[in-house]
Amino acid sequence: MNKVFALIFIGLNIISGAQEIVDSTKVWSVLTGHCHPEYTVYTTEMYRFSNDTLMDGKMYKTVFISEDEQQEEWFFFGSFVREENKKVYYREYSGEEGLIYDFNLALGDTVVVNNPRAVSEVTLTLVEIDSVETSEGYRERWKLTNDSFEEPEYWIRGIGSMAGILNSTSNLFGGLCGTYILLCEQENNAAVYQNPDYEYCYYDELIVSEEEAKTPNKMFDIRYRQTDKSLDLIFESKEEHHIFITDVKGRLITEKKSSEKQIRVSLAGQPKGLYIIVVHKNNGITVSKKIIVY
């Protein structure tokens, strides 16, 4: 979104900055990576908060999780959240609570976030405020940074981190298994926000390459280089391959022909999301694979 346009909406205060995160009417869907030795499996997980629980003299909501697209089966996630004075705290069943959000900040302010789900605590500085569109109008989006990390952290008022409601700061630390992506948020069973980089709020189980995915009838392997958002395609043999890369909506991103055993394709400038790599050989064999670019 154009920043000037976004700031106009913020100045008009179209949406109040006082939405609560800890609200039992809300449901978040998050794409989550689960690491295996040679590939990563991505599943969609839903989270909601319900049922008051008193612990150490403080009142929490219980965290529930579902992997059911219809949201008919919910299970205790083993953790709790509470909100006080626009600050949100998270604690696991046998651990201590940590601050995961503070919506009292002004531009230039810093906050120490010590999310128990992240590698360690981290100091963030609020460096930019723009807005995102929801079904209820525009909401503030905060960009928070730490000089030690290349990637910023983004929070949306009333919705939480772009890494998912419980995962603030988790993606800062990188690593093969630490990928979380907010897909959607709904309130009172109505869709409020959908990540514009993704077409759906729920994806069936995906097996995708981040390092070297090896699958039957593979024809080619993929290595994803997060540092420059590029793909290395490694073929089984030196022969002509016709390569197409599209996004999930079918938009052609790039098309190449190569007889090399390995080529590199840049996705720099493309949004985060799910991409499809299709390779044709002259003998008529076609193989396609999916990959999450983050």
pLDDT in tens, the chain (294 residues): 444 434 433 443 334 445 489 999 999 999 988 766 556 778 899 999 999 999 999 999 999 999 989 999 999 999 999 999 999 999 998 889 999 999 999 999 999 999 999 888 999 999 999 999 999 999 999 999 999 888 899 999 999 999 999 999 988 876 545 578 999 999 999 999 999 988 889 988 766 654 444 444 467 888 888 778 888 888 888 888 889 888 766 678 889 898 888 999 998 888 877 788 888 877 667 777 778 777
The yes or no reply on domain 209-293 and CATH 2.40.33.20 is no
Exposure string for 7-32, b = 16+ CB within 10 A, e = fewer: eebbeeeebeeebebbeeebbbbbbb
Residues 6 or more apart whose CB falls under 8 angstroms from that of 118 comprise 167, 168, 169, 170, 172, 173
Separation between Cα atoms, residue 51 and residue 32, nearest integer Å? 25
pLDDT at 208: 60
Long-range (24+ apart) CB contacts under 8 A made by 221-225 are 222/277, 222/289, 222/291, 224/291, 224/293
Q: CA geometry: angle at 208 spanning 206 and 211, to 5°?
A: 155
pLDDT at 112: 98
Structure token pair of residue 286: 């076609």
User: Phi/psi at 153 (nearest 5 deg)?
Assistant: -110, 135
Structure token pair of residue 193: 């926000």
pLDDT at 197: 85
pLDDT at 50: 95
The answer to whether 156 and 132 are in contact (CB under 8 A) is yes
Residue 161: CB atoms within 10 A of its CB come to 27
pLDDT at 188: 94
State the span(s) of the chain assigned CATH 2.60.40.3080: 209-293
